[in-house]
Amino acid sequence: MVFSSLFFLYAFLPLCLIIYHLVKKIEHKNTVLLIFSLFFYAWGEPFWVIQLLISGCLVYLFGRLMAACRPDREQKSRKLFLILGIMSALIPLLVFKYSDFFIENLNALLGSAIPLPNFTLPIGISFYTFQIISYIVDLYWGNCRVQKRLDYFLLYESFFPQLIAGPIVRYTDIEQAMTDRHPSAKDRALGARRFVAGLAKKCLIANYAGSLVEQSIGSSRLGQLSGLEALIGLIAYTFQIYYDFSAYSDMAIGLGRIFGFHFPENFNYPYSSRSVTDFWRRWHISLSSFFRDYVYIPLGGNRRHQMLNLFIVWFLTGFWHGASWNFIFWGLYYLLFLILEKTFLLSVLERAPRLLGYLYMVPVTLFGWALFYFTDLSKLALFLGRLFAVDGPFVNLEGRVLLRQNLFFLLLALLGSLPILPRLKDRVNRKYSELEVHASPYYFAANLVQILGLLLLSTASLAGASYNPFLYFRF
């Protein structure tokens, strides 16, 4: 099931909210959320919900066993349960997501013919695997208390707002809210506004950008595109992946807040970055912080073997996104720029005019998304040949028509990806106190009109849409 579907918006979510608010005790509310979360996942994955439950139960069990050990006398046992817990979470991910990749490369290397298992990838497995790993590691480090109720732990693993595509929520983020949460009317209003804003980003911008990608670099005409058509397609994909993924995060954060959970932010206008270092502080923040806290720092961080640690982190970052060499190259591509920035480039960019940083990031980001998009490296080479007009015109009639038809949309998408509106809001808040603004009946009316207007526009878009995927579902 996806958030941007009429069934979710007008059947699943209203029914969940009604039943949730009818029950009074927190344990009953958690039971309602768990049942709806498992139904949400089983809607599209009726078989793989079993895998989700098995992984959750095993990590829960090893967490209980670890907590039963005394840190002062049974450290070896605690470490054993930590390893078993991590492996019970990781092994399904490695088997279902990467077994074909490993066997294909082994066959190519040895000339063997081992048959591929061709497993169907359980949706969201990369996200919920990292979540339960963060729990057992934090438990081992003493950053959280053991969860003694299996149903509460399974709710943490499977909570439907962020189950499929994040953000990656650590148990420490919601530990207190699992047993004590009291969302106010303001929380619900802000959550609803955040959800609807994300829905609009998905339906009105990401989906249109995706259809533009399918017309150009995703079409069978790739080898016949002009350079301008290839560039427009790449720019459209750059906007599609940002609006698609950030929209899901917005909807997840908004839904979580309605139910009284405060999830971490996952995006902070990454296309306003002036360096790769800054970009990765703003893009998929929950994933970057996961690798920093659970891989980079435990390996030694910048204290010892820094370059090796960085290589491991960015190899894993690329590989996490998919079982294909292009994702590995994509991770190492960003590693190269991060090393250059750590060595000298970042200090140069910090002293240079801001415009220079933006001009530096445009080609870096665009080529990075080209590398990310084309899982077939031969198609990437073909695309680059078209982009740089190696054996054809850069501008043709089709390219001019495509640009003319979509120039307004591309400019709108660009403006929306920059922190212009938040800065205008800050200026208003500096002129008038936040209390005055929020107390105004005009503020309430404007918010209500905004929410209803965006909801109606999104609904109309969904009713006639034929293109409505979430890109990060496949990761």
> How many whole angstroms separate alpha carbon 365 and alpha carbon 38?
37
Cα angle 139, 142, 143 (rounded to 5 degrees) comes to: 80
260 phi and psi angles, rounded to 5 deg: 100, 10
Tell me if residue 321 is catalytic: yes
Cα angle 398, 402, 408 (rounded to 5 degrees) comes to: 160
> How many whole angstroms separate alpha carbon 77 and alpha carbon 66?
7
Amino acid at 471: L
Q: Radius of gyration of the chain from Cα atoms?
A: 24
Amino acid at 249: S
**Cβ atoms of 135 and 144 closer than 8 Å:** yes
Alpha helices in 111-226 (DSSP H): 125-141, 150-158, 171-174, 185-200, 207-215
Q: Which of 182, 284, 321, 438 is catalytic?
A: 321
> How many whole angstroms separate alpha carbon 199 and alpha carbon 8?
12
Single out the residue of 72, 53, 49 nearest to residue 61, CA to CA.
53
Cα angle 399, 403, 408 (rounded to 5 degrees) comes to: 175
**Cβ atoms of 113 and 38 closer than 8 Å:** no
Q: Tokens 């996952």 sit at which residue?
A: 266
Residues near 132 by beta carbon (within 8 Å), at least 6 away in sequence: 55, 56, 59, 89, 157
User: Is 34 in a helix, a strand, or coil?
Assistant: helix
User: Is 115 in a helix, a strand, or coil?
Assistant: coil
Hey, which residues are catalytic here?
A: 321
